[in-house]
Chain A
């Protein structure tokens, strides 16, 4: 037997109670998605970040967005090579970041009012790796709408035990938190009065 031994990695059942997304990072990713949307094409990008203490369990703090080189049509988008996927993961490893979220656009708004849903290709393809615990957002109308509708007006999935599960509206609102990048303090009118 040529393979003599291998480590048996302890695959932690990562499940983030919450994902914190900085608004600036969201806007950057959205602009990227919408640029292809203006051409009537799908687009795909990723959020990466770090695991943080969420108080009652692990949470994920998004710290960067990954904007890959893709080939896209109105109904399909893919990275240009496997080597690019490896390069992305090498770069994230060097930054101590892990993939957290995949975001991609659909041209339609879905049916039955629940937003666009994962296709079979999406199920197999959207994530950068095979790990559980990551999220996938499907953004309707090629991201030509407002980014301030995120996450309420997008469809969000979480991968658990290899299967994608759509978050309910309540769960989506409770677990995907968009926050500003800047905390600015100002004087009250009374304090600023001479």
Chain B
């Protein structure tokens, strides 16, 4: 009796893998390294700002503050550092402009240039007066 003999399956190449792709880009270690390198190349926004406050050419103080520090707080610290006895007469001038709003923050003033800091001058408006001559 004849038997139908089933042919022995011939080995064939395995189907293409459908599992995780193992290209370099998806290698976890490489991805981490790449991300770290890209992050290192990006300048980080500093958490603090250095505000230089000068009076005359001979006197000045460097104040390190957070961006949410107000001009009023900077003024108070600067007047204490520089021995200003009548702070109400003084204002801060930066880039030629009087910063009149004491509630304004340093972050608002410097924008995205936190790392460059801010140079200001603490000035009053000189004046003199005497009784009118009779």
Contacts and interface: CB of A to CB of B under 8 A. Distances in A.
Nearest to B63: A6
B129 A85 contact: no
A44 B128 CA distance: 7
Given A11-B59, A83-B97, A4 B84 contact: no
Contact of A42 (B48, B82, B83, B130): B130
A63 interface: no
B132 A74 contact: yes
A62 B133 CA distance: 31
Interface of A: 2-9, 11, 14, 42, 44, 46, 68, 73-79, 81-87, 89-90, 92-93, 96-99, 102, 104, 106-108, 116, 119, 121-122, 124-131, 162
Interface string B64-75: 111011100110
A82 B123 contact: yes
Contacts of B124: 82, 85, 125
Which among A9, A96, A129 has the highest number of chain B CB atoms within 10 Å? A129
Interface of B: 48, 54-66, 68-70, 73-74, 77-78, 81-86, 89-91, 93, 96-98, 121, 123-133
Contacts of B61: 6-9
A124 B86 contact: yes
Contacts of A86: 93, 96, 121, 123
Given A75-B132, A83-B97, A108-B133, A124 B59 contact: no
B83 A74 contact: no
Given A75-B132, A96-B57, 13 more contacts: A3-B64, A4-B64, A8-B81, A11-B59, A14-B58, A85-B123, A86-B96, A92-B57, A102-B126, A122-B130, A125-B128, A129-B56, A130-B55
10 contacts: A3-B63, A3-B64, A3-B65, A9-B82, A42-B128, A44-B128, A78-B127, A85-B124, A92-B56, A130-B84
A7 B77 CA distance: 10
B66 A2 contact: yes
Contacts of B73: 2-3
Closest 5 pairs (CB-CB, A-B)? A107-B133, A2-B69, A78-B127, A121-B129, A125-B127
A140 to B, nearest CB: 10
